[in-house]
Amino acid sequence: MDRKKIVAGNWKMNLTVNESQNLAQEISNQIATIETPNTRIIIAPTFTNLYPVYHHTKLDHRLEIAAQNMHQAVKGAFTGEISAEMLKSVGVNVVILGHSERRQYFCETNEALAKKIETVLEKDMDAIFCFGEVLEDRKADKHFEVVERQIKEVLFYFNPEYFKSIILAYEPVWAIGTGETATPEQAQEMHAFVRKLLAEKFGQEIADQVSILYGGSVKPGNAKEIFSKPDVDGGLIGGAALKAEDFTAIVKAIN
């Protein structure tokens, strides 16, 4: 079976309820004219806007709603946190985990992320697991080492069958919100490296079925070239996801 192509928009800490509903509706209207037979289109509003956006767009079955984070516990005294069951109850079945901003600003560790992903998988949800190196690692030629450690410490504990619900997203941290972008060749090189790691651990069949997204300043102008690489299966989009026309143009670029 061919790997799914995926375009996921991470809205981060942006937009009010009304703004989120309006943007989701604009995206829904614009993708209505696009043939996307093997492409998943995902948007990730803030926690407060998940249900309003889901309710507003629930008739558009091509538009999936994702959360930007989740706590690993089922319930309990974790003030300010959100559980998997809470997300499922508002129509969310996909969770972004391990984004570089979560690692940087909220000190998320590989150990904690492994537990979060385990909870997601146990609840029959999909995880978008983010990983990648910072500029210092790239300059020191340690980017493969850093990524290998993140992949092994988080994912190598899971049974192979879980990978049907795991989406990977490579984030060269130095290319997020900076205007810098890894070249298509750099993206392909890292994606191929990650797929090789998975093949060595879980077998080629599992490695070939996992979608690996690129997440680093993807825009309408560079999306087609990046997506043309054989191991790049789509994108985790930041700033461009906040403009319906830009996001739709990126969706078009993957077809």
What are the residue numbers of the active site?
99, 171
Whether the Cβ atoms of residue 104 and residue 130 lie closer than 8 Å to each other: no
Helix axes 184-202, 220-227, angle to 10 degrees: 40
Looking at residue 130, its amino acid is C
Q: What backbone phi and psi angles, to 5 degrees, belong to 92?
A: -100, 130
User: What b/e readout covers 36-48, taking b as 16+ CB neighbours within 10 angstroms?
Assistant: eeebbbbbbbbbe
Residue with tokens 């290998």: 148
Number of CB atoms found within 10 A of residue 111's CB: 9
Q: Are strands 94-97 and 234-237 parallel, antiparallel or unpaired?
A: unpaired
DSSP secondary structure of 76-106: SS-TT---HHHHHHTT--EEEE--HHHHHHH
